[in-house]
Structure 1
Amino acid sequence: MSEGVDEAGWDVEPGDEIESIVQAVGRLLKVCREAAGMTVPELAEAMGYGEDMIRKIERGARIPRPEFLDKADTLLKAQGHLRAFMEDMRKARYPKKVRELAELEGRAIDVLLYSTLHIHGLLQTEEYARAMFGVHRPAHSPDVLEAGVAARTARQSIFERTPMPELSFVQEQVTLERPVGGAVVLRRQLEHLLEVAERPNVEFQVMPTGRWDHPGLNGPIELLRFADGTAIGRSDGAFNGRPIQDPRQLRVLELRYGIIRAQALPPEESLAFIEQALGEL
């Protein structure tokens, strides 16, 4: 069963590669607890968590929250040894697929993205992302929802990378008009898009709804190119929606994306469209 958002962390997915580091953190917690002369019940009471939760963390079955490690480090006088794993545990709580995607985006030098139904995750504000996760059915539990939001916003560190990757976004017009989360959330989202689009390495374009004769009607397209000349791509409307790396298949997606960019509004007109949409809210 899923735990609430006020619990110490998240369960480890069986077979996940992060299992070994979570187990190492658990062993370290146990060593620090024993060195401090505390029993599991005593630590649980001092930390404000259940005894079962502490035992699960110590045996590596539970991913501790960074805040848990911070508090435990102070309480057990661990001299920063537990705090040293806070960032690892922050990343570990994200689903495996999200971590893999973040790793790819972290290596890419060119990122080409076409979105059809909603604002792309790399462009979403926290409020917009929370609204998107909130409409999922069956509904996410609170901790899964918050972990999803945190993972999505964490991927946006791509905008702070050095050297900067080149980022191209094409959004269907409807994604800028659909009031996900309500008018206030949409307003903040559009304002955020204007801020992001001002970055020197970002090109943002809008595909008008009236443009029906372009190759993006079958679904979104994602293309990531890397410094070694390799690339990976995916499109719901090609190759059964699976990720592809074959150069011949990648050329198909590159051709489609090139046509989409050519038929979308130029960047200047796209920003003017967003400003107009803001004025109508």
Structure 2
Amino acid sequence: MRRKDIDGSESVPSFYGKELRWKREQAGLTLQQLAEGSFYGLSHLSEIERGQRRMPHDLAEHVDRVLKSDGFFARRCEDVRKARAKGHADYYVEVLELEDRAQDIEEWMPDVIPGPLQLEPYIRAVIHATHPSESEERTAEKVSARRERSWLFEDPTGPETWVVMSELVLLRPILDAEQMAEQLAHIVEVARHRRFIPQILPWNSDTHPFMMGTTRLLTFHDAPPLMYTEGMYSGQVIDDPGTVRQYSKAYDRLRAAALPPGASLEIIEQAAEDYRDGKLHRGLGHRPLAEEQPQQR
């Protein structure tokens, strides 16, 4: 079987990875031989060569020693890190790499639609709300970067994803009626064709876990689970096993408080129809959408 070549012109990480493969093969080493003596495995190096992961600084120093490359890879680490972060906040770079490796993702969204499900108008509205003075060039960069993450929900080979959203996400018309209808219809379409499973937590639900902040639990084939929490301008990866377990059990309670997936999908469809019919939103003075759905589980 012919080995697939790496197109180093695609991105900085791809260029970096192609250079690593070239220098490794020039030295007559296999990936396994290059990994020996480091804390990293063959698959980690392979993904770096393909431009799919950035190289940690300690691994870059190890590679420079083995390949006698005079600090080349260690010096380029920061360039690759910045390239991976283009269009994303600096604190999110590590999460991008974790998403690439995740087997399952469970997420709580109290305020907005999950990023990979957002269409361009919705992305722009969220960006303008949090960064009102940002340039159009930077905004366009962020829109592109967020749409590139759509594979998480749309690619059949992506991680299995479970998302609990507050009903208020549907009732908050941050776009005009037509655009909100299109955005919510997109969620329904993705949910029906992929392994993305939605649940809606009614807006008037009693006290429940995760009453503040976006939270995401990531599990992996070959590593312990991690939790990621995010505020408006910051994010944190939590890897302490005891703390991650607490978050995981809290997420189970959150799912139990939310409506079943089938009823939740009907609620999202109903919200899309309401926007399309010009009703805009039900508002807190009307019966919430969730109350119109059967409560059978």
TM over 0.5: yes
SS of the counterpart of 1:243? strand
1:121 paired to 2:115: yes
Q: Distance in 2 between matches of 1:203 and 1:160?
A: 12
Q: Distance in 2 between matches of 1:93 and 1:232?
A: 23
Relative to structure 1, is the Cα distance of residues 172 and 106 closer, same or farther in structure 2, using a 3 angstrom cutoff?
same
Offset at 1:235? 3.1
Offset at 1:170? 0.6
What amino acid is the match of 1:199?
H
Relative to structure 1, is the Cα distance of residues 89 and 234 closer, same or farther in structure 2, using a 3 angstrom cutoff?
closer
Q: Deviations over 1:101-152 (max 9, x none)?
A: 3221111000011001111112111221111112234421111111111111
Q: 2:192 aligns with which of 193, 198, 203?
A: 198
Q: Tell me, yes or no, if the aligned pair for 2:87 and 2:138 is still in contact at 8 Å.
A: no
Q: Distance in 2 between matches of 1:151 and 1:169?
A: 21
Residue in 2 that maps onto 1:153: 147
Identity score, percent: 33
CA-atom RMSD, angstroms? 3.0
Q: Deviations over 1:236-271 (max 9, x none)?
A: 59xx96311111010111011111111111011001
User: Within 5 Å, which residues of 2 pair with 1:177-192?
Assistant: 177-192=171-186
Residue in 2 that maps onto 1:4: none
**Greater Cα offset, 269-278 or 131-140:** 131-140
Offset at 1:278? 2.0
SS of the counterpart of 1:265? coil
What amino acid is the match of 2:184?
L
Offset at 1:200? 4.1
Q: Distance in 2 between matches of 1:271 and 1:213?
A: 23
User: Within 5 Å, which residues of 2 pair with 1:1-281?
Assistant: 96-161=90-155, 163-235=157-229, 242-281=236-275
Offset at 1:277? 1.3
TM-score, normalised relative to structure 1:
0.63
SS of the counterpart of 1:211? coil
**Greater Cα offset, 159-168 or 110-119:** 159-168
Relative to structure 1, is the Cα distance of residues 156 and 97 closer, same or farther in structure 2, using a 3 angstrom cutoff?
farther
Offset at 1:182? 1.9
**Runs of 5+ in structure 2 lacking a partner?**
1-11, 19-81, 276-297
What amino acid is the match of 1:268?
G
Offset at 1:180? 1.4
Relative to structure 1, is the Cα distance of residues 236 and 163 closer, same or farther in structure 2, using a 3 angstrom cutoff?
closer
Relative to structure 1, is the Cα distance of residues 93 and 176 closer, same or farther in structure 2, using a 3 angstrom cutoff?
closer
**Runs of 5+ in structure 1 lacking a partner?**
1-17, 25-87
Q: Distance in 2 between matches of 1:20 and 1:278?
A: 40
What amino acid is the match of 2:247?
L
Q: Distance in 2 between matches of 1:92 and 1:148?
A: 8
